[in-house]
Amino acid sequence: MYAEVVFPLPFRNSFTYSIPLDYEDIIQQGTRVVVPFGKRILSGFVTGLKKEVDIKNQIRDIIDIIDDTPVFDDISLKFYEWLANYYLCSLGEALRNSIPPGLEVESKRQIIADTDFCSKLYIEEENKDCIKAKILQFFSLKEKANISFLQKAVNKKNIYSTLKNLEKLGAIEIQDSIADVKVKAKKVKFVELADSLDRTYGIIAEIEKKSPKQVIILLELLSRKNKSVKLSDLLEKTNSSMTSINSLESKNLVRVFDKEVERIHVELYKEEATNFELTNQQAEVVNTVSKSIDKNEFIPYLLYGVTGSGKTHVYIELAKKALSLNKTVLILVPEISLTPQIMTRFINTFKNKVTLIHSRMSMGERYDSWRGVINGKYKVVIGPRSAIFAPLKNIGLIVVDEEHDASYKQNDLTPKFNARDSAVIKAQIYNCPIILGSATPSVESMHNALTNKYKLLTLPERVDSAQMPIIRLIDIIEAKKIKQMENNFSKVLIEEIKNRVEKKEGVIILQNRRGFSTQLFCEDCGEIEVCPDCSANLVHHLDKNILRCHYCGFSKPVPRFCSKCGSIHLKFFGTGTQRIEDELSYYLPNYKIERVDSDSIDTKGKFGTIMNSFRNGEIDILVGTQIVSKGLDFSNVTLVGVISAETTLWIPDFRADERTFQLLTQVSGRAGRSKAEGEVLIQTQNPNNFTLQKVVTNDYKGFYEREIKMRELNHYPPFAKLALIETKAEDENQARTAANQFYDILRKKATPLMINNPIPAGIPKIKKNYRFHILIKSPKSIDPAAKLLRNTIMDAYSEYNQKAQYKDVRIIIDIDPHTIM
């Protein structure tokens, strides 16, 4: 027998290996195996088996097996194949997602050095500053190192070509090993009686004479009848030692054994369960989708329901329906740790049938919840984009809540998938309905609904006859002129906040920037403090009194002199959440203000705790970044204030208007969710801006209609597919040259694709790497399935790789990029 194996690496082919006889019964499609590959040893996925191959002599044996049960099945393989084809990664890179984090067994490379030889070469090397010299110096003293350690030691990432050269010289050897898995099932020792209750009772008198301590243990176990007890609990309760247990065991009176325990993630946010009748509008939606669940039919529904229309309740009713038919349910939410309410409502309803899968859980918790899904214990999975890979079988319903949210797109790792779009494909493969829900549907999804690719469902009203809030813009340029601004607050806004908190109503303030000041500026020479590794301003964080880069995390103490001219006239500019919090506590010293941004909620469970206190009224005002715009449902919130509408409006990106509309509409939606009327005050320098006007009038339709025209005019989605090619390297010139080369190859293909000239990226340097972009647009009218786009890129990519001049330049392909910065 032979196995087809793919690797979680960028090469696209599969490779054939022969299966040793001993393994024939165990290896199946979906098993992970360890195999030789050139000089290396790799772990890979078996994607298929076959009996015959053409050329037998070059085929090597599988060395080892990693899993005793397959990690994916036929139907999920289809999904991973789609993912690889669509996002242009290898099948192995897509399949890497089929196992929970911690179970990857990566092949690790180690470098073994000939220290004497390295030291000799180091002495001979003329340029002691070059990377080769640094590596040689390192290995003059050290015999062994893994690559990442070495990368850190010499402070450079791209060292492979230098290492390869040194290997050729015989100075070092690069070796492979398979690193062990990081997580395992958790086992705990338990104790139970080995004999029957009667016989154990019978023997007590005899034991009591010699070892009274052991009797205490026996009595405790007897009091629990036939139930086993955790060893540590037993020892504590009876105040005894392991010696007593051991001797009881040797007398065959008790048995000590391993029992697997599940690590369960506990969320800190808690709400009472509520029960209510569906409104007529909700019932209609539930009815329609229920029929699709019944019939196992793939229909993508776009649920356009205003904020507070009770979308969560609809999801829950439909999930109940799917479960009643013995099917499973997948619920995707933007960032789960930021949406404790929807999560809590699912947990309240489905109790131990629902599990979370998200990155703030420990590796062990995720592993256990993953296995609970595989063995059918969990029927409902709720989580952010990575939960799309949860190994659910027999899926009856998929929900993507807040489908417009940017966090569904994976930007950093390969494949750069969009979980919303992938979920639609997943539903198609599993033959089930999918609901994309939002109060501010993405332009793409609404277009799909209006062109009948999706089916549109609407919830146009808030439940419980709550009214939509009244939204007003405050022109801060005008306010400044007439002295109605104090720091970042207009008098109107501050008065209104006072007014609300005095009445014990909740207030939410949005400023979509972290930190205190966003710039440190020299008044004498004009220098702005920037990150040494990125082209980004350093942001002042008051709590730690440091300047920090929001792209790479670099930080340093606030300088007292300008780093360029030495002047002491340094000035802070730009406003972040910390400053808003600070100013507010000056104006409202007697009220409790809490800040929520990724700096303030860095510890596990912190956000849930803050949400609890806000609901109880222990916190009066929440100040935060876009985190406060997401899904919060607190009936006592009556005022939402936006410090500056410009934080998203001025981003040079084709989605800037859409994101502004979504953010402001969503944050406004937090106000007035009950009888008390809600109010929203948005401070801006552009009160006549079209997007802001549409936010004020709550006119999604008007916004959409203009936006879709602009998209058509400028060849943006949904009228064209986009792909972004990025070249990235520490050497600016290499990155630029590579971009030009790639561009030339693309141009020669003479396709009708629209290929933009290579340009430095919006943020030209991140983490020491220079970035260049080539944007490709593929009009839907000529390339409806974007096949031409993908084929052209793949052809160009392999041609580029054959010619590539610089080995240290990385080429990154992003299909459907969310931003083109």
Binding site for ligand ADP (CB under 6 A): 274, 276-279, 282, 305, 307-313, 463-464, 633
Cα atoms in the Cβ-side hemisphere of radius 13 Å centred on 672: 21
CA distance 257 to 230: 10
Q: Is 319 exposed, middle or buried (0-12, 13-18, 19+ CB in 10 A)?
A: buried
Which residue lies nearer to ligand ADP by CB, 201 or 276?
Answer: 276
533 binds, among Zn ion, ligand ADP, none (CB under 5 to 8 A by kind): Zn ion
* Contact between 197 and Zn ion per CB under 5 A: no
Strands ordered across the beta sheet of 64-65: 60-61, 15-18, 2-6, 40-50, 32-37, 64-65
527 binds, among ligand ADP, Zn ion, none (CB under 5 to 8 A by kind): Zn ion
CA distance 174 to 112: 6
Instruction: List 507's β-bridge partners, or say none.
Output: 621, 639
Query: Which of 3, 549, 611, 813 forms a contact with Zn ion (CB under 5 A)?
Result: 549
305 binds, among Zn ion, ligand ADP, none (CB under 5 to 8 A by kind): ligand ADP
Do residues 52 and 59 make contact, with C-beta atoms less than 8 angstroms apart?
A: no
Which residue lies nearer to ligand ADP by CB, 62 or 439?
Answer: 439
Residue 166, token pair as written in the block: 């040194």
* Contact between 763 and Zn ion per CB under 5 A: no
Which residue lies nearer to Zn ion by CB, 659 or 765?
Answer: 765
CA distance 583 to 616: 24
Do residues 684 and 692 make contact, with C-beta atoms less than 8 angstroms apart?
A: yes
CA distance 171 to 168: 8
Per the listing, tokens 């789960």 go with 336
Q: Which residues have C-beta within 8 Å of that of residue 434, sequence separation ≥ 6? A: 298, 299, 300, 301, 397, 398, 399, 400, 423, 424, 426, 427
Query: Which of 130, 261, 525, 754 forms a contact with Zn ion (CB under 5 A)?
Result: 525
463 binds, among ligand ADP, Zn ion, none (CB under 5 to 8 A by kind): ligand ADP
* Contact between 562 and Zn ion per CB under 5 A: yes
Closest separation in Å from C-beta 355 to ligand ADP: 21
Which residue lies nearer to Zn ion by CB, 161 or 563?
Answer: 563
CA distance 105 to 43: 7
Do residues 190 and 368 make contact, with C-beta atoms less than 8 angstroms apart?
A: no
Closest separation in Å from C-beta 534 to Zn ion: 3
Which residue lies nearer to Zn ion by CB, 549 or 793?
Answer: 549
Closest separation in Å from C-beta 704 to ligand ADP: 19
Torsions phi, psi for 715 (to 5 deg)? 55, 55
Which residue lies nearer to ligand ADP by CB, 633 or 699?
Answer: 633
Residue 53, token pair as written in the block: 């191959």
- Beta strands 40-50 and 32-37, pairing class: antiparallel
Do residues 580 and 623 make contact, with C-beta atoms less than 8 angstroms apart?
A: yes
Which residue lies nearer to ligand ADP by CB, 425 or 510?
Answer: 510
Q: Which residue is nearest to ligand ADP (CB)?
A: 310
Residue 471, token pair as written in the block: 């939204």
Q: Which residues have C-beta within 8 Å of that of residue 452, sequence separation ≥ 6? A: none
* Contact between 530 and Zn ion per CB under 5 A: no
Do residues 436 and 458 make contact, with C-beta atoms less than 8 angstroms apart?
A: no
Closest separation in Å from C-beta 764 to Zn ion: 12
* Contact between 534 and Zn ion per CB under 5 A: yes
655 binds, among Zn ion, ligand ADP, none (CB under 5 to 8 A by kind): none
Query: Which of 398, 531, 637, 681 forms a contact with Zn ion (CB under 5 A)?
Result: 531
461 binds, among Zn ion, ligand ADP, none (CB under 5 to 8 A by kind): none
Q: Which stretch binds Zn ion (CB under 5 A): 41-49, 341-349, 411-419, 544-552?
A: 544-552
Which residue lies nearer to ligand ADP by CB, 468 or 588?
Answer: 468
Closest separation in Å from C-beta 701 to ligand ADP: 18
CA distance 555 to 564: 18
Closest separation in Å from C-beta 58 to Zn ion: 48
Query: Which of 64, 114, 176, 533 forms a contact with Zn ion (CB under 5 A)?
Result: 533
CA distance 151 to 193: 56
CA distance 416 to 430: 22
181 binds, among ligand ADP, Zn ion, none (CB under 5 to 8 A by kind): none
Query: Which of 15, 117, 554, 719 forms a contact with Zn ion (CB under 5 A)?
Result: 554
522 binds, among Zn ion, ligand ADP, none (CB under 5 to 8 A by kind): Zn ion
Closest separation in Å from C-beta 305 to ligand ADP: 5
- In one-letter notation, the amino acid at residue 288 is T
CA distances to 87, 305, 312, 746, 756 from 794, rounded to whole Å, are 11, 40, 41, 10, 17
Closest separation in Å from C-beta 521 to Zn ion: 9
552 binds, among ligand ADP, Zn ion, none (CB under 5 to 8 A by kind): Zn ion
The H helix count followed by the E strand count for the chain is 26, 37
Closest among 646, 641, 643 to 685, alpha carbons compared = 646
Q: Which residues have C-beta within 8 Å of that of residue 596, sequence separation ≥ 6? A: 607, 610, 622, 623, 624, 625, 627, 628
Query: Which of 299, 492, 552, 558 forms a contact with Zn ion (CB under 5 A)?
Result: 552
Closest separation in Å from C-beta 672 to Zn ion: 40
68 binds, among Zn ion, ligand ADP, none (CB under 5 to 8 A by kind): none
Do residues 786 and 724 make contact, with C-beta atoms less than 8 angstroms apart?
A: no
- In the range 416-435, which residues lie near Zn ion by CB under 5 A? none
200 binds, among ligand ADP, Zn ion, none (CB under 5 to 8 A by kind): none
Q: Which stretch binds Zn ion (CB under 5 A): 70-78, 412-420, 467-475, 561-569?
A: 561-569
Instruction: List 506's β-bridge partners, or say none.
Output: 637
Closest separation in Å from C-beta 11 to ligand ADP: 44
Closest separation in Å from C-beta 637 to ligand ADP: 12
8 binds, among ligand ADP, Zn ion, none (CB under 5 to 8 A by kind): none
Which residue lies nearer to Zn ion by CB, 522 or 722?
Answer: 522
Which residue lies nearer to Zn ion by CB, 533 or 653?
Answer: 533
Q: Which residues have C-beta within 8 Å of that of residue 38, sequence separation ≥ 6? A: none
Looking at the chain, how many residues does it have? 821
Closest separation in Å from C-beta 669 to ligand ADP: 6
551 binds, among Zn ion, ligand ADP, none (CB under 5 to 8 A by kind): Zn ion
Q: Work out whether the CA dihedral 413, 416, 417, 418 comes out positive or negative.
A: positive
548 binds, among ligand ADP, Zn ion, none (CB under 5 to 8 A by kind): none
310 binds, among ligand ADP, Zn ion, none (CB under 5 to 8 A by kind): ligand ADP
Closest among 302, 312, 307 to 403, alpha carbons compared = 302
**Residues binding Zn ion (CB under 5 A):** 522, 524-525, 527, 531, 533-534, 549, 551-552, 554, 562, 564-565, 567
